[in-house]
């Protein structure tokens, strides 16, 4: 690692003050490996781990509010969440491995916007709102491209508000080694209609209007029979071609629909 100054602010206000000239450290599951490989050289690390106000899960009527520093393991095992929005607990329980889930955070995952991360599918697919130190950003406007988001320099995610869906499920085909999604699809019936969000398949999470229209007509896996997204622009690596990923997206979407439909 290159040298850096390490600070651990005790209030969110101080964190934001210090964050302007530095890099926030949340769970560190991506940032620390990146630093070890010297792929980044932040002058200052602003550790968010001493800020309890950024942690915790609260269900407020029809909204689930998850603090940015809430660990994946805590989302996965939250009994309250398993009742209100089981899709979130399931998705979090499938991230990485147990040790990663004990450290990794929802805010870190969303701010990093890895093309194969799971949480972006939840933020976009459930139509969540990202609440930052400066403003509220709609999930639809948050993810702007590979590893990039609408966050300004120094802007800190405080929490993410998820409207409770009528029913929803997430299905992913994990890379057998990394457990990152080769294709992950979140399907939700929300107050605003059906939403389908795909992660892992392209450079950035995206919605699939054709699937949404078909599922609006009939919410059943068969509604997607014969439908496939174009493979142009999808990810290509040693694990799968764009065409393979396009096929996976339909299969994962059908699995998610079947699971969501079974929930009633």
Residues at the contact surface with another protein, assessed by CB under 8 A: 1, 3-6, 8, 25, 28-29, 32-33, 36, 45, 47, 49, 73, 96-100, 102-103, 177-179
With CA atoms as reference, report the closest residue to 227 among 203, 198, 204: 198
In the complex, the smallest distance separating the C-beta of residue 116 from another protein, rounded to whole angstroms, is 15
In the complex, the smallest distance separating the C-beta of residue 148 from another protein, rounded to whole angstroms, is 23
In the complex, the smallest distance separating the C-beta of residue 216 from another protein, rounded to whole angstroms, is 35
Q: Which is nearer to another protein, 10 or 148 (CB)?
A: 10
In the complex, the smallest distance separating the C-beta of residue 50 from another protein, rounded to whole angstroms, is 8
With CA atoms as reference, report the closest residue to 198 among 142, 131, 129, 125: 125
Q: Which is nearer to another protein, 49 or 231 (CB)?
A: 49
Q: Helix or strand or coil: residue 163?
A: strand
CA 66, 69, 71: angle at the middle one, nearest 5?
85
Query: Burial letters for 48-75: b for 16+ Cβ neighbours within 10 Å, e otherwise?
Result: beebeebbebebeeeebbbbbbbbbbbb
In the complex, the smallest distance separating the C-beta of residue 172 from another protein, rounded to whole angstroms, is 14
Q: Which is nearer to another protein, 1 or 21 (CB)?
A: 1
Residue spans of alpha helices (H) in 118-241: 119-125, 139-142, 209-217
Q: Which is nearer to another protein, 67 or 96 (CB)?
A: 96
- The tokens for 241 are 């071609």
Q: Which is nearer to another protein, 45 or 81 (CB)?
A: 45
């Amino acid at each position: 690692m290159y040298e850096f100054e390490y600070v651990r602010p005790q209030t969110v206000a101080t964190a934001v003050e210090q964050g302007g000239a530095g890099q926030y450290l949340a769970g560190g599951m991506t940032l620390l490996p990146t630093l070890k490989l010297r792929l980044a050289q932040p002058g200052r690390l602003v550790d968010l781990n001493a800020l309890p106000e950024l942690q915790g899960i609260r269900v407020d009527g029809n909204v689930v509010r998850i603090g940015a520093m809430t660990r994946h393991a805590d989302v996965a095992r939250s009994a309250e969440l398993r009742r209100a929005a089981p899709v979130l607990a399931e998705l979090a329980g499938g991230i990485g491995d147990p040790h990663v889930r004990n450290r990794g955070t929802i805010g870190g995952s969303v701010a990093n916007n890895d093309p194969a991360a799971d949480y972006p599918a939840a933020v976009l697919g459930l139509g969540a709102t990202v609440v930052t130190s400066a403003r509220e950003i709609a999930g639809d406007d948050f993810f702007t491209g590979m590893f990039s988001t609408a966050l300004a320099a120094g802007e800190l995610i405080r929490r993410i508000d998820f409207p409770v869906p009528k029913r929803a499920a997430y299905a992913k085909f994990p890379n057998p080694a990394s457990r990152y999604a080769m294709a992950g699809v979140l399907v939700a019936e929300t107050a605003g209609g059906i939403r389908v969000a795909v992660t892992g398949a392209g450079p950035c999470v995206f919605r699939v209007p054709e699937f949404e229209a078909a599922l609006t007509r009939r919410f059943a896996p068969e509604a997607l029979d014969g439908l496939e997204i174009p493979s142009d622009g999808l990810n290509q690596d040693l694990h799968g071609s764009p065409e393979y990923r396009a096929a996976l997206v339909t299969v994962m979407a059908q699995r998610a629909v079947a699971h969501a439909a079974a929930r009633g």
